[in-house]
């Protein structure tokens, strides 16, 4: 499918704007919308490529820059300097601000004539996977795909807020959580805690652990890339969005 891309600015309730990268089919639509949440490395070439890949499946895809308060527009590589810079910005995140950014992005999508406002989904990686879970809890997205979302099962949410896992009962759509069995950042005890919470609250969900995959397995620009797991995960995400967003 032919697509077009552009940089956009999303108005915020608090004032100011949040940058974003938009990829959409060239056909008029309206199309379902999908938020694509970045890792700690910003809306970098990998995230832009994923956003474009989603658009080629027939969705209007938006990658919001939720580092806009402390590092607007940053793009890091996957080296030590990039990791250090990203971790510094990660530490400045606050759950209430992340939720506000999610709601602003969804509102911006719904205001567009080429978006089906009743068919919005989200996906993301690492802290973006956490952001995906948080968005599923605090908004009405119909489908969510969380890739190796770190800190979801931590005692407190970003910035010391209420636990993200403790919000699970508010999820209304379907969520798929994808993890690597060799991911030292997210021990299997946390994966099981997520599974337990989703089951307890009767949330429609899938928990998938790829035994030989590590953190970052979906990104072909990282040393931890694992093609078999990435391909299988992408197939699941496409099925999720097809089933839930149409």
Phi/psi at 149 (5° precision): -75, 110
Question: Helical H runs in the chain?
Answer: 45-56, 80-90, 95-110, 127-138, 188-200, 227-245
Q: What is the CATH number of domain 3-245?
A: 3.40.50.1820
Omega prior to 30 cis, within 30 of 0: yes
- The span from the CA of 226 to the CA of 209, in Å, is 13
Q: Where are the domains of the chain?
A: 3-245
Phi/psi at 209 (5° precision): -115, 120
Confirm whether pTM is higher than 0.95: yes
Indicate the pairing of strand 174-180 with strand 143-147. Answer: parallel
CB-count exposure of residue 102 (10 Å: 0-12, 13-18, 19+): buried
Give the HSE-up count for residue 174: Cα atoms under 13 Å, Cβ half-sphere: 15
- The span from the CA of 108 to the CA of 129, in Å, is 21
DSSP 71: S
- Kindly list the catalytic residues: 126, 183, 215
Contact 52, 26 (CB under 8 A): no
Q: What angle do CA 170, 173, 175 make, to 5 degrees?
A: 95
- The span from the CA of 10 to the CA of 106, in Å, is 10
C-alpha distance across the termini of the chain, in Å: 16
- The span from the CA of 36 to the CA of 51, in Å, is 6
Which of 210, 205, 204 is CA-nearest to residue 232? 210
Strand order in the sheet with 143-147: 3-11, 17-25, 60-64, 31-37, 115-125, 143-147, 174-180, 205-210
Residue by residue, pLDDT tens for the chain (246 residues) are 999 999 999 999 999 999 999 999 999 899 999 999 999 999 999 999 999 999 999 999 999 999 999 999 999 999 999 999 999 999 999 999 999 999 999 999 999 999 999 999 999 999 999 999 999 999 999 999 999 999 999 999 999 999 999 999 999 999 999 999 999 999 999 999 999 999 999 999 999 999 999 999 999 999 999 999 999 999 999 999 999 999
Which of 148, 225, 216 is CA-nearest to residue 179? 148
């Amino acid at each position: 499918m032919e697509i077009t891309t552009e940089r956009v600015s999303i108005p915020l309730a608090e004032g100011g704007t949040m940058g974003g990268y938009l990829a959409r089919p060239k056909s008029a639509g309206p199309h379902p919308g999908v938020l694509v949440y970045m890792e700690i490395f910003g809306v970098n070439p990998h995230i832009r490529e994923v956003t474009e890949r989603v658009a080629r499946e027939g969705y209007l895809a938006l990658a919001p820059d939720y580092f806009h308060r402390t590092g607007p527009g940053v793009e890091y590589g996957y080296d030590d300097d990039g990791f250090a810079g990203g971790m510094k910005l990660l530490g400045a995140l606050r759950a209430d601000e992340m939720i506000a950014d999610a709601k602003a992005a969804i509102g911006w999508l719904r205001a567009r004539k080429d978006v089906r406002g009743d068919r919005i989904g989200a996906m993301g990686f690492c802290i973006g996977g956490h952001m995906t879970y948080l968005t599923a809890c605090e908004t009405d997205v119909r489908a969510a795909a969380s890739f190796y979302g770190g800190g979801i099962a931590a005692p407190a949410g970003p910035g010391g807020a209420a636990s993200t896992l403790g919000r699970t009962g508010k999820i209304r759509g379907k969520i798929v959580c994808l993890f690597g069995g060799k991911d030292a950042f997210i021990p299997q005890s946390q994966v099981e805690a997520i599974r337990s919470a989703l089951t307890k609250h009767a949330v429609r969900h899938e928990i998938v652990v790829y035994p030989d995959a590590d953190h970052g397995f979906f990104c072909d620009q990282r040393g931890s890339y694992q093609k078999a797991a990435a391909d299988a995960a992408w197939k699941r995400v496409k099925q999720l969005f097809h089933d839930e967003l149409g």
